[in-house]
Amino acid sequence: MVILTGVQRNEQAITIIWIFFFVIMAFIAVFLITRISAIRKKRRIANEKAEQEYQTLKECYSHLTPEKIDDCADDQLPSAVILECQRKEEEDEDHYYESLNEVEKTIYGIYQLNQTIGGNSGIRSFFMSPALSDYVDDIENCFERVGAHDIASLLKGAKHLYDVLENDAEDNEEGDYATYNFSDFTHEYKTLIAGTNFNKKVISYIRLNKALFKGDER
Nearest to 154 by CA among 201, 191, 205, 108: 191
pLDDT for 105: 97
Tell me: the pLDDT tens digits for 90-114? 999 889 999 999 999 999 999 999 9
Residues 46 and 71 in one domain: no
For residue 168, tell me if it sits in a domain. yes
pLDDT over 90, % of the chain:
51
15 and 91 belong to one structural domain: no
Say what the pLDDT of residue 63 is: 87
Which domain CATH number covers 70?
1.20.1420
Bigger pLDDT: 217 vs 26: 26
Whole-number mean pLDDT of the chain?
Answer: 85
Co-location of 12 and 28 in the same domain: yes
Flag whether pLDDT at 217 surpasses 60: no
Q: Is the per-residue pLDDT at 84 higher than 70?
A: yes
142 lies in the same domain as 186 = yes
Residue at 218 is within a domain? no
Instruction: Identify the residue with better confidence: 60 or 132.
Output: 132
Q: What pLDDT shows up at residue 172?
A: 62
When pLDDT is cut at 50, 70 and 90, the band that residue 166 belongs to is: confident
**Same-domain check for residues 50 and 72:** no
Residue 174 lies in domain: 61-212
Residue 217 lies in a domain: no
Round to whole Å and give the CA distance between 165 and 182: 11
Helices 149-166, 133-145: crossing angle, 10 deg rounding = 150
Q: Are residues 149 and 65 in the same domain?
A: yes
Residue 191 lies in a domain: yes
Q: In this structure, are 88 and 128 located in the same domain?
A: yes
pTM of the prediction?
0.74
Whether pLDDT at 28 is above 90: no
Q: Do 38 and 101 fall within a single domain?
A: no
The reply to whether 153 falls in a domain is: yes
Domain total in the chain: 2
**Is 85 part of any domain?**
yes
Residue 50 banded pLDDT, cuts 50, 70, 90: low
User: No. of H helices and E strands in the chain?
Assistant: 10, 0
Torsion, Cα 80 43 190 127, to 10 degrees, reads -70
pLDDT of residue 173: 63
Q: Per the domain annotation, does 119 fall within a domain?
A: yes
Do the beta carbons of residue 139 and residue 109 sit within 8 Å? yes
Q: Are residues 50 and 67 in the same domain?
A: no
Residue 197 DSSP class: -
Here the contacts of 57-60 (C-beta below 8 Å, separation 24 or greater) are 57/83, 58/83, 58/87
Same domain (yes/no): 109, 12: no
pLDDT tens-place string over residues 114-158? 999 987 789 999 999 999 999 999 999 999 999 999 999 999 999
The per-residue pLDDT for range 179-214, each reduced to its tens digit, is: 889 999 999 999 999 877 899 999 999 999 999 998
Res. 218: pLDDT tops 50: no
Contacts 24+ apart (CB under 8 A), 82-90: 82/107, 82/108, 82/111, 83/57, 83/58, 84/213, 85/111, 87/58, 87/62, 87/63
- Residue 79 domain-assigned (yes or no): yes
Same domain assignment for residues 93 and 179: yes
* Secondary structure class of 218 (helix, strand, coil): coil
Predicted confidence at residue 170, as pLDDT, reads: 65
124 within 8 A of 162, measured Cβ to Cβ:
yes
Distance CA 202, CA 154 (A): 18
pLDDT score of 168 more than 80: no
Q: DSSP state, 210?
A: G
Q: What is the pLDDT of residue 167?
A: 81
Regarding whether 175 and 84 lie in a shared domain, the answer is: yes
- Identify the sign of the CA torsion 12, 15, 21, 23: negative
